[in-house]
Amino acid sequence: MAMQGNDVLTVGAGPTGLMLAGELALAGVDVAIIERRASQDLAGSRAGGLHSRTIEVLDQRGIADRFLSEGQVMQNAGFAATHLDISDFPTRHNYVLGLWQSHIERILAGWVAELAVPIYRGREVTGFAQHDTGVDVELSDGGSLRTKYLVGCDGGRSLIRKTAGIGFPGWDPTTSNLIAEVEMTGKPEWGIHRNAFGIHSFGRAEYEIRNGEVVYLDRGPVRVMVSEQHVGATTEPTLRDLSEALTAVCGTDYGTHSPTWISRFTDMTRQAASYRNGRVLLAGDAAHVHAPDGGQGLNTGVQDAVNLGWKLAQVAKGTSPETLLDTYHAERHAVAARVLRITMAAVALRRPDERTKALRETMSELLGIDQPRRRFGAMLTALDIHYDLGEGHELLGHRVPDLDLVTADGPQRVFALLHDARPVLLNLGESDGFDIAPWADRVRSVDARYDGAWELPALGAVTAPTAVLIRPDGHAAWVGDGHHMGLADALTTWFGSPAAEVSS
């Protein structure tokens, strides 16, 4: 069956695909999701945790509280077994939120449902063909769809990436781990352990945080992670694989039985050579895979979606030229390349030999010094991300902090101005405001006052601007310092030609 055309089709209803669909729907774009799973239920909990910047982008859309009400707040970010205290960071969300991916997806899916985005479940994309005006997409049920743009949010083995012919260069795995949720008759020692074979850990799937400490409950399945001796198996892992790996590392498999799920992860590290081929784009694991150290993957994917969503919406609606999509690759490829580098370093630091142990301890000492702690903490939480938008004010290209503003309508937070995913020109000066009439249908103008210092993670204090043009993703596209110079250019670059020109 052929379904009606959409402006955008996203493939995959994981965190990245759901976030992207939500962003597009907020922008008034006709978007649909194709998902091979029959329901949102996730076998296994996969990733767990949202970093500061991810919580901030959810806060920018007014939905952070949905996640905070279910998660566990932890004050540390982690790099290669070193905990970095981020409680003094200048953000409302100076913590990591412990929350399993299954919950993150469920909450995002609820938001997307409120935005009336259709999800075609139990279907897979089997192929597609691009042409001048769109993409024809073939589905596993024999049906087909036509869309203007196709986005692959379909994971590390992405069919969309392969079919688009986009290369996926990188490094083959050096380590392999099994992670599972199982019943056990024996009683392992809870926590994370190291020996000559590598790292292994045991914990109850059910736990509470009491006074900042994890307290496992005395019931329910056990969550296991164990290193495998041999790298290279690409088959679906079995209970026997898990039992053999545990026996090799611990001398016993603790009577492991009745697995809820078992999965294998490696430190394979690859990145798409390009995030775009014509009308086909990639986001999340389809664009970058790496070891799960530091919980970077899910967070990077959600932030990919928030960078891409508003740009793709403007292009799909004809407000902006297709060249705007090139800024998605330019900005986000560099971010993920850095994630790949720090996860590779973290994997190298968890090797079990004595020399690596010495290096790990040396790194811990280094990260105990204030400046490295701040720098790495800001990097791991993605609070320091800076898009290169050229010369200018030190805030340019950085996230705009969530200041408490005073407006004519009363107190207001910066992030609250971004709930509808529209750009905002924030006028903080004494001037009579700005004439942005030609963009008034696209850009909201807000006059406000803020008294106090501006402080950014990693950067520290920055000069208070008199005006900021804030992109829907929360980054500063233009910064005024008592002048209007360059504002019209920035508005045109990011939000399309002025209205008079569009209609001519």
Neighbour count for residue 263 (Cβ, 10 Å): 14
What is the pLDDT, as a whole number, of residue 47? 63
Indicate if the pLDDT at residue 252 is higher than 50.
yes
Indicate if the pLDDT at residue 45 is higher than 60.
no
Q: Find out whether 302 and 19 touch, Cβ atoms under 8 Å.
A: yes
Region 268-276 average pLDDT: 96
What is the pLDDT, as a whole number, of residue 30? 97
Distance, first Cα to last Cα, the chain? 40
What is the pLDDT, as a whole number, of residue 499? 77
What is the pLDDT, as a whole number, of residue 214? 66
Confidence of residue 503 (pLDDT cuts 50, 70, 90): very low
Interval 429-485: pLDDT, tens:
876 667 899 999 999 999 999 988 899 998 899 999 999 999 999 999 999 988 889
Phi, psi of 172 (to 5 degrees): -70, 160
- Mean pLDDT: which of 83-87, 307-311, 484-488 is highest? 307-311
- List all residues 6 or more positions away from 344 whose beta carbon is below 8 Å from its beta carbon: 171, 267, 269, 290, 291
Range in 182-196, 347-361, 397-411 with the lowest mean pLDDT: 182-196
Query: Chain-wide mean pLDDT for the chain?
Result: 91
Indicate if the pLDDT at residue 205 is higher than 80.
no
Q: Find out whether 92 and 203 touch, Cβ atoms under 8 Å.
A: no
- List all residues 6 or more positions away from 15 whose beta carbon is below 8 Å from its beta carbon: 101, 104, 105, 108, 284, 298, 301, 302
What is the pLDDT, as a whole number, of residue 43? 57
Interval 112-148: pLDDT, tens:
999 999 999 999 999 999 999 999 999 999 999 999 9
Confidence of residue 497 (pLDDT cuts 50, 70, 90): very high
- Residue 292 is encoded by which pair of tokens? 């799960």
Q: Find out whether 380 and 294 touch, Cβ atoms under 8 Å.
A: yes
- Mean pLDDT: which of 206-210, 291-295, 386-390, 449-453 is highest? 386-390
SS3 of 161-173: HHHCCCCCCEECC
- Mean pLDDT: which of 217-221, 253-257, 382-386 is highest? 382-386
Q: Find out whether 179 and 265 touch, Cβ atoms under 8 Å.
A: yes
Region 303-332 average pLDDT: 97
What is the pLDDT, as a whole number, of residue 435? 82
Range in 71-80, 97-106, 114-123, 275-284 with the lowest mean pLDDT: 71-80
What is the pLDDT, as a whole number, of residue 2? 47
- Residue 326 is encoded by which pair of tokens? 């090139």
Look up tokens 């402080």; give the residue. Answer: 455
* Bridge partners, residue 425, by sequence: 445, 469
Mapped onto helix, strand or coil, the DSSP state of residue 17 is: helix
DSSP string covering 327-384, please? Answer: HHHHHHHHHHHHHHHHHHHHHHHT--SHHHHHHHHHHHHHHTSHHHHHHHHHHHTTTT
Indicate if the pLDDT at residue 351 is higher than 80.
yes
- Mean pLDDT: which of 18-22, 70-74, 408-412 is highest? 18-22
Rounded Cα–Cα distance for residues 28 and 37 (Å): 26
What is the pLDDT, as a whole number, of residue 502? 44
Q: Which of 402, 351, 131, 147 is nearest to 139 (CA)?
A: 147
Q: Find out whether 60 and 401 touch, Cβ atoms under 8 Å.
A: no
DSSP string covering 211-239, please? Answer: TTEEEE-SSS-EEEEEE-SS----SPP-H
Interval 186-201: pLDDT, tens:
989 888 887 777 778 8
Indicate if the pLDDT at residue 218 is higher than 80.
no
What is the pLDDT, as a whole number, of residue 76? 78
- Mean pLDDT: which of 92-96, 250-254, 264-268 is highest? 92-96
Mapped onto helix, strand or coil, the DSSP state of residue 449 is: strand
What is the pLDDT, as a whole number, of residue 504? 34
Q: What whole-number percentage of the chain has pLDDT above 90?
A: 70
Indicate if the pLDDT at residue 5 is higher than 80.
no
What is the pLDDT, as a whole number, of residue 460? 92
Neighbour count for residue 28 (Cβ, 10 Å): 13
Element (H, E) at 469: strand 467-470
pTM, to two decimals: 0.91
Which residue type is seen at 360? R
- List all residues 6 or more positions away from 224 whose beta carbon is below 8 Å from its beta carbon: 178, 179, 180, 181, 182, 200, 201, 202, 242, 246, 256
Q: Which of 105, 152, 98 is nearest to 304 (CA)?
A: 152
What is the pLDDT, as a whole number, of residue 38? 85
